[in-house]
Amino acid sequence: MKHTIKTGLSFGLTSGIITTLGLMVGLHAGTQSRLVVIGGVLTIAIADAFSDALGIHVSEESESKHSEYEIWEATLSTFFFKFIFALTFLVPVLFLELQTAIYVSIIWGLLLLCILSFTLAKEQNTSVARVVAEHLIIALVVIFITHNTGEWISVTFG
């Protein structure tokens, strides 16, 4: 796989999972509203995908070792993968009871993260268990913190 596409895929997938799950869990804990969660996911899919794509664009430019074509390829692939993966979290929210949809989304996100982590570890010939555990722990910390933050906001301002 080309470096630019791999950059977009790995960054877009990881960011799509962590950001979208964090937002969904926090909004659900704070509002219990399907409408708010759907709005949050769509916002992440659009605004954060553009933001991440621009971040990759500037990062690749700052390295001064990529062609303009490679920079734009990484930029567009980051946007595409972040956008698509963030939108996949809408499926359970649209078709399941909200609490169930949140659990399904967490499982879906962690499964995708495990697959990506496993693949990266194998490609780099490093410890699969260490890489998968490291990435899962970070995701679970984000889920825990955003859930508790959502509950705190609900109690404090609700």
pTM: 0.94
Name residue, tokens 């794509």: 53
Number of domains in the chain: 1
Give CA–CA dist 82/48, Å, rounded: 8
Q: What is the pLDDT of residue 152?
A: 98
Q: What is the DSSP letter of 66?
A: S
Residue 78 is part of which domain span? 3-157
Q: Which helix (H) or strand (E) holds 112?
A: helix 98-124
- Tell me the CB-side half-sphere exposure of residue 26, using CA atoms within 13 A: 18
In this prediction, residue 1 has a pLDDT band, given cuts at 50, 70 and 90, of: confident
Tell me: pLDDT of 47 over 90: yes
Tell me: pLDDT of 158 over 90: no
* Burial track 18-28 (b if 16+ CB lie within 10 A, e otherwise): bbbbbbbbbbb
Average pLDDT, the chain: 96
In this prediction, residue 118 has a pLDDT band, given cuts at 50, 70 and 90, of: very high
Give CA–CA dist 16/139, Å, rounded: 11
